[in-house]
Amino acid sequence: MPEMTDAPVAFDSEKFRQLTRAQWEAAAEAWDRWAPLLARWLGPATEAMLDMAAVGPGARVLDVAAGAGEQTLAAARRVGAKGYVLATDISPAILRFALRAARQAGLTQVETLELDGERHDTLPEASFDAAISRVGLIYFPDQQRALAGIRRALKRGGRFAAVVYSTPEKNPFFSQPVGIIRRRAQLPPPLPGQPGPFSLGHALPVPADLPPSREPPRLSPSYRLLSASAAGRTPRRRAARRGLRTAPRSRRSTIRCSRRSSSMRAIARKPSRA
Which one, of 66, 30, 28, 29, lies nearest residue 46 by Cα?
A: 66
pLDDT at residue 197, as a whole number: 85
Is residue 227 a part of any domain in this protein?
yes
Is residue 274 a part of any domain in this protein?
no
What is the CATH number for 42?
3.40.50.150
**pLDDT lower than 50: segments of the chain:** 1-5, 205-219, 233-274
pLDDT at residue 97, as a whole number: 96
Is residue 129 a part of any domain in this protein?
yes
Is residue 246 a part of any domain in this protein?
yes
Is residue 166 a part of any domain in this protein?
yes
With pLDDT > 90 as the criterion, what percentage of the chain qualifies? 50
With pLDDT > 70 as the criterion, what percentage of the chain qualifies? 70
The total number of structural domains in the chain stands at: 1
pTM of the entire predicted model: 0.75
The whole-angstrom separation of Cα 249 and Cα 5 is 41
The whole-angstrom separation of Cα 100 and Cα 69 is 10
Is residue 101 a part of any domain in this protein?
yes
The whole-angstrom separation of Cα 215 and Cα 229 is 15
Domain that holds residue 97: 13-267
The whole-angstrom separation of Cα 45 and Cα 170 is 15
How do residues 40-97 score in pLDDT, each as one tens digit?
Answer: 989 999 999 999 999 999 999 999 999 999 999 999 999 999 999 999 999 999 999 9
